[in-house]
Amino acid sequence: MKLIQGPNDEPLSVDEVLENLRIDHNIENGLLSALIVAAREYAEKYTGLRLISQVWEFDFSVFELQLIPKYGPLIEVQKIEYLDPEGQPQTMPETQYRFVSVQSSVGCIVPTVGNVWPQIMEGPGAVTVTAEVGFGDAEDIPQTIKQAMHLHIAHFYENRSDGDLPSAVEHLLHPYKTYA
């Protein structure tokens, strides 16, 4: 896996966090920005989903019945590249595959009806999928995930040396946890 393009924004703005924490100054905006990033990264790691749109490369050793990227939800498959039996790089035509995505799951890539995956030289990196994943923009993220982020941020803002995250954060994130 390789990150090609990271998120251009965060799920929560500093203004939203200031309002949620009932802070009426901007002295700690730098800290709050860092806590927003940390809360997003935690939510992404816990759920296996990317919150804001990002582009990743996913490597596979073989063409499986369905290709399931480690992260989701799938927004768009940009390209599928593979090594043919002679080890030559090839790009699969977009008409030969489609992706199935559900808002709260990773999604998968399958051949279109009447097509099969091509023969390849199997091995590490034999198939590379470049895909855009995430919920999209901040307004597309489920409110439950945003609430978990608010709790995460509030906890570490108020308890700067306490590493124990409230269990409510994981309870809110758990319905979105993937096992890809």
Look at the block and give the residue holding tokens 């998120």.
7
Res 35 pLDDT > 70: yes
**Residue 57 CB-half CA count within 13 A:** 11
Q: What residue ranges define each of the domains in the chain, with the CATH number in brackets? A: 2-51+138-176 (1.10.3230.30), 55-131 (no CATH)
> pLDDT category, 87, cuts 50, 70, 90?
very high
> What global pTM score does this model have?
0.87
State how far the Cα of 150 lies from the Cα of 153, in Å rounded to an integer: 5
- 48 and 70 Cβ atoms separated by less than 8 Å: yes
Give the DSSP H/E element, type plus range, for residue 114.
none
Res 103 pLDDT > 70: no
- 73 and 103 Cβ atoms separated by less than 8 Å: yes
Q: How does pLDDT run across 146-168, given as a tens digit for each residue?
A: 999 999 999 999 887 777 888 99
